[in-house]
Each structure stands twice: as C-alpha cells, then as structure tokens.
C-alpha cells in the first residue's frame, strides 16, 4: 500500500491546470452503452475510478480505448450483467443500470460499494426505473431489472436530491417511448455536462441545470465528441490548499461559476479570490478567519469539499460550525485531524472546530477519497514530517496529485512498501 510522506510548512505558489471531472466522466463513460456509434470523450482524467468504469463498460462488450485523456467507445453491448467483483470497487457503477435497461430492456447490476460514507442506498435509482415502467427485483445482492417492451416516459418525483439517481433517470428516459419529467432533479454541473453530451448524440433534453428536467424520448442515439467539464472539486481542493498553506495558486480552467458557494465562503475567511475568465487566482496572506458552513446540493457548498474546508478551519482564527447535511457518517477525517492536534467535537451531523495556530505532524490514515485529501492539506500546512497511509483512496479521485502539488513547492513523496491494495470500499 502506498503512503505519502509530506514535509509541510511551505506556502504553495504556482499554477495548476484543473483536470476533467471524475463525477462527470463516470456517467459519460456509461453513455457509451447507449449507442452503437462512436462516442469520443476528451479530457477524461486518469484515475482509479475512471479506469474501473472503463473496465466495466468493456466487460459489457463495448470497445473502449484510451489515448492520453481521450477515451473512445464504440459498438453494442453483449452482456447486461454488472458483477459484484467490478461493481464493489466503485459505487458509481450503478450508473450502467439506466443505459442498459433503456437500450437493451434488461440489466442485472450488483448492489454497489464505494466510499464508506453512510449507508448510501440506491432506492431512488430503482424507483426512477420503476416510474419508467421497469420491473425490478432485488435478489442475491443484485438489482435485476427488465423492460421487455422498452421503457415508457413518465413523471419522476425525487423525494430528495440525488445526483446519481438523476443521471440514471436521464439516461433511461432518453431512450424511453414518449415524454418524461424529472421533478426535484439535481442541478450539479455534471448533470448538465451529461445532458449536453446526450443532446449532441441526438437526445432531446431540456431544463438541465434546473430542478425540472424534460425529456422527449428518441428511438436511438448517434455518436458525438464531447469534452468533459472541469473538476470543480479538484479546483476547490487546490483553492483550499492555497488558503491553508498561506500561499497563492492560479487554477487554470477552474470554471469559477461552478464554485460560487466555495468562493463566497473563502472570501469570508479573508482569502483573496479573483476570477479571470476561466481561471481562479487564490491568495492567502494572513491566518484565515473561522467561518461556518453547511453542505447542500448544488449550488450550495459541496459535501465533497467539507473535509478539506474542515482541515483549514483547524488552523483558523476562531471557532467554526460545520454541518454535513448530505451524508451521514462523513466525519471520518475528524479522528485523524485530532491526531494532528486539531480541536474538533462532533454532535450528529455537526462538527465544532476550535481553530489552533498550528497542527502537529503525525502519521494518519486515509478513510475515504475526500477525507484523505483533507489529511494531505493538513499535513502540507504543518511544520515537520507527516505520513498519510492508505492513499489508494486519493488515486480514485485526484489525477497526478503529487506532481501538481510538487510543482507549486509542496514537499511530498510517495512511498511503496510493496503490499497490494485490495480494499477499495
């Protein structure tokens, strides 16, 4: 298992180009199941998760090839079965359900794994498929779904906002007979990216980016070339890295419009944030001020930046209250930050952080993707040497992290002690 050895205390300065978004690339790779024509996806980040999804789509029989950041998908699927061994690595594997069902009338998908942040059920995905006429059974750890006559358009009212269920519903409804309406849909930029790609392939989707999405079903989709939107979570992570180390980073192609909530909060902490076209320039000169946040669906403060922001609040001037409203059990970074000297107490979904001038270096362990990067940020801000173990979590979501941070003055190296990574849940 790889570890990261970090010698902290140096302010980060320089330029980082933001990669394509993991959370946009994953559903877009699943779109490869929806057409026999060629789909070319550009700006697909090199990550453990995109590799897993490419493997899953290939398993279904579609030809998948990659050259640098461009992935080409073509041909029809021949297997509609997504087995546990492939799905357990990544929760987003559930995104093949809608495409397979819509295009082939059947899908058998193992119940997923993924980051251990709460129970994360898939009931909303299943209900969306049922609303489009699918017959769904749960047996032996699998979702077995059928629509022998094809799906039919319908009205799907989501009782709570779900990014993945909205994506599955869109992909299914695109090839259903008739019109569909998605009410209380997720508004994340990754949803719009998916809809833009599908529309380029011949789908008829409107209203994406709002909470009501309308879809006119079509018989088939053609090919397209689509560029994956920038990763707002990667950009936000580096913005916080500039803040926590008292440095200055220019984040190229960061798409500031997708980071409004974070930018507003960073300004409240006293960090200077400037938007220049698609770039973001983040400069911290003084110790940051404590600021409260509450996570919310887009356009609110992203849950995927909560851990990183908490790391920064650990060294802020004053006390902050951090409310996690999307996932239960998403404070697994707290005990590790406390090992580094942070003063945090948790009450249900709320963490109270009393800022300290300095954390202390310590060996810590990553527990999920965003929690692990929060530990890297804390270590970068701390004088002395820290080691973050189990960093395979980082490789699921951050492309070339050491290289990107290293070119901005971070002192970190990857150490491999030769053991195999297995547990990726």
How far CA 360 is from CA of 110, 270, 346, 364, in Å, comes to 43, 24, 21, 11
Q: Which is nearer to ligand UD1, 6 or 298 (CB)?
A: 298
Quick one: which of 26, 28, 101, 311 contacts ligand UD1 (CB under 6 A)? 26
Just list the catalytic residues.
Answer: 115
23 binds ligand UD1 (CB under 6 A): yes
Cβ contacts of 423 within 8 Å, gap of 6 or more: none
307 binds ligand UD1 (CB under 6 A): no
- Of 143-162, binders to ligand UD1 (CB under 6 A) are 160, 162
Minimum CB separation from ligand UD1 for residue 51, in Å?
A: 14
- Of 63-92, binders to ligand UD1 (CB under 6 A) are 91-92
Site string for ligand UD1, 163-192 (x = CB under 6 A): xxx------------------------x--
- Of 98-127, binders to ligand UD1 (CB under 6 A) are 118, 120-125
Q: How many CB atoms lie within 10 A of CB 84?
A: 16
Site string for ligand UD1, 217-256 (x = CB under 6 A): ----------------------------------------
How far CA 159 is from CA of 70, 100, 101, 162, 425, in Å, comes to 37, 24, 22, 9, 27
Pairing of strands 384-389, 2-8: antiparallel
Minimum CB separation from ligand UD1 for residue 187, in Å?
A: 11
304 binds ligand UD1 (CB under 6 A): yes
Cα separation, 196 vs 21, in Å, equals 15
How far CA 184 is from CA of 3, 102, 155, 162, 211, in Å, comes to 41, 22, 11, 9, 5
326 binds ligand UD1 (CB under 6 A): yes
Cα separation, 378 vs 359, in Å, equals 8
Q: Which is nearer to ligand UD1, 250 or 372 (CB)?
A: 372
Q: How many CB atoms lie within 10 A of CB 417?
A: 8
Cα separation, 31 vs 216, in Å, equals 17
Residues making contact with ligand UD1 (CB under 6 A): 23, 26, 91-92, 118, 120-125, 160, 162-165, 190, 303-304, 326-327
């Amino acid at each position: 298992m790889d570890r990261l050895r970090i010698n902290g205390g140096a302010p980060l300065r320089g330029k980082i180009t933001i990669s394509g978004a993991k959370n946009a690339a994953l559903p877009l790779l699943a779109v490869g199941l929806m057409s026999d024509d060629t789909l070319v996806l550009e700006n697909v980040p090199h990550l453990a998760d995109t590799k897993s999804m490419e493997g899953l789509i290939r398993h279904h029989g579609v030809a998948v090839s990659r050259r640098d950041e461009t992935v080409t998908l073509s041909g029809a699927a021949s297997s509609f079965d997504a087995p546990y061994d492939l799905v357990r690595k990544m929760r987003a594997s559930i995104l093949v359900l809608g495409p397979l069902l819509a295009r082939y009338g059947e899908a058998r998908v193992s119940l997923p794994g993924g980051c251990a942040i709460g129970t994360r059920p898939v009931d909303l995905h299943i209900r969306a498929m049922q609303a489009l006429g699918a017959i769904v059974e749960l047996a032996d750890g699998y979702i077995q779904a059928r629509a022998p006559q094809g799906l039919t358009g319908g009205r799907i009212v989501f009782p709570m906002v779900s990014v993945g269920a909205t994506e599955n519903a869109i992909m299914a409804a695109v090839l259903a007979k008739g019109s569909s309406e998605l009410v209380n849909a997720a508004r994340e930029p990754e949803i719009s990216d998916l809809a833009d790609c599908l529309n380029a392939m011949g789908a008829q989707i409107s209203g994406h980016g709002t909470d009501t999405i309308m879809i006119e079903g079509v018989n088939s989709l053609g090919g397209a070339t689509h560029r994956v939107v920038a990763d707002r979570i990667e950009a936000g992570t580096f913005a916080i890295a500039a803040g926590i180390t008292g440095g200055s980073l220019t984040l190229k192609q960061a798409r500031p419009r997708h980071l409004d909530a974070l930018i507003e909060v960073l300004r409240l902490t006293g960090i200077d944030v400037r938007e220049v076209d698609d770039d973001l320039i983040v400069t911290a000169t003084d110790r940051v001020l404590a600021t409260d946040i509450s996570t919310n669906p887009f356009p609110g403060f992203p849950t995927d930046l909560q851990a990183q922001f908490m790391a920064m609040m650990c060294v802020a001037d004053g006390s902050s209250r951090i409310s996690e409203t999307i996932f239960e059990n998403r404070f697994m970074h707290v005990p590790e930050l406390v090992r580094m000297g942070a003063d945090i107490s948790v009450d249900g979904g709320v963490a109270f952080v009393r800022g300290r001038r300095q954390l202390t270096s310590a060996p810590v362990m990553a527990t999920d993707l965003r929690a692990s990067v929060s530990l890297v940020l804390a270590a970068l801000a701390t004088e002395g040497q820290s080691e973050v173990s189990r960093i395979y979590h980082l490789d699921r979501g951050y492309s070339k992290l050491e290289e990107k941070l290293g070119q901005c003055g971070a002192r970190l190296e990857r150490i491999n002690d030769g053991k195999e990574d297995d547990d990726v849940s």
